[in-house]
Each structure stands twice: as C-alpha cells, then as structure tokens.
C-alpha cells in the first residue's frame, strides 16, 4: 500500500517522546500497564526500560528510534489495519515499522493476550 512521501516524512521526523505518552494513556485507560507496554516495545525493538527512557529523554525521531532498533524477526507476522493502512502492505520500511508499533499498542489496549501480541517465529 502506498503512503505519500509527505506522510512518510512526517512519521520519520515525529519524535518518539511526543507519541509515547499517548501510548501509555491508551493502554492504561484500557486496564493494561506501562510495564506491558514496555514489554511490547522491547519485543519489537530490543530496547529495555533504560534505553526506552534514554530515547525519550533525547527526543529522538522515529527515524533514529528505528535505526537504533533490532527489529524482531516476528514483526513480519504483524498484520491488519491501523490508521487506515494495512500494515503488511506498507511499502516504506520506516513507516511500516512505526505502524507495527501502533498495531501492537492497539492490540494491547484492546485486551489481546500477551502471547498473541508477541508473535512467535
């Protein structure tokens, strides 16, 4: 699925620190915890709690965030629609990774079991 260059650029330049509080609010409002959110982020990126906090403090862009990440091989198993895009069809790799994260946060907030969210390869 094609995204526009402007859309891809906007995601690349957006800071992880600006989106992170929205992730926390979303999952906590639905009865999940910040610890579960961090577990999902760590599964996708390899970042532990300390590294997540450092990236927030540094106000890194999503571009830098995903450059530093070690994307889980199971990420390709993430499918479905988020923000009007089918994640498995997004052509821009950075935009796809950002939407993978959005999809995982969404699944967590919707009460999906952790073992289903953390796809096994």
Mean pLDDT of 18-35: 98
Mean pLDDT of 88-92: 94
- Tell whether 11 is covered by a domain: yes
Kindly report, residue by residue over 30-66, the tens digit of the pLDDT: 999 999 999 999 999 999 999 999 999 999 999 999 9
What pLDDT band is residue 1 in, cutting at 50, 70 and 90? low
Nearest to 119 by CA among 64, 71, 83: 71
Q: What is the CATH number of the domain that holds 27?
A: 1.10.8.290
Output the CA–CA distances (angstroms, integers) from residue 47 to 18, 68, 81, in the order listed: 18, 9, 25
- Tell whether 119 is covered by a domain: no
In angstroms, the CA 83 to CA 8 distance is 13
In angstroms, the CA 15 to CA 56 distance is 8
pLDDT in the model for residue 46: 98
Total domains, the chain: 1
pLDDT in the model for residue 85: 87
Residue 78, C-beta contacts closer than 8 angstroms, at least 6 positions apart: 87, 88, 100, 103, 104, 119
In angstroms, the CA 52 to CA 39 distance is 11
- Tell whether 21 is covered by a domain: yes
pLDDT of 9 > 90? The answer is yes
Better-scored residue on pLDDT, 58 or 7: 58
| pTM for the full predicted model | 0.94
- Tell whether 83 is covered by a domain: yes
């Amino acid at each position: 699925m094609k995204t526009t260059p402007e859309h891809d650029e906007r995601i690349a330049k957006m800071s992880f620190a600006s989106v992170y509080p929205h992730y926390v609010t979303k999952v906590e409002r639905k009865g999940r915890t910040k610890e579960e959110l961090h577990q999902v982020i760590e599964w996708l990126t390899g970042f532990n709690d300390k590294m997540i906090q450092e990236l927030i403090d540094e106000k890194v862009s999503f571009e830098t965030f995903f450059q530093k990440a070690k994307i889980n091989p199971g990420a390709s198993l993430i499918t479905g629609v988020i923000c009007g895009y089918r994640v498995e069809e997004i052509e821009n790799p950075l935009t796809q990774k950002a939407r993978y994260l959005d999809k995982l946060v969404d699944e967590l907030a919707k009460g999906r079991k952790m073992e289903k969210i953390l796809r096994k390869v």
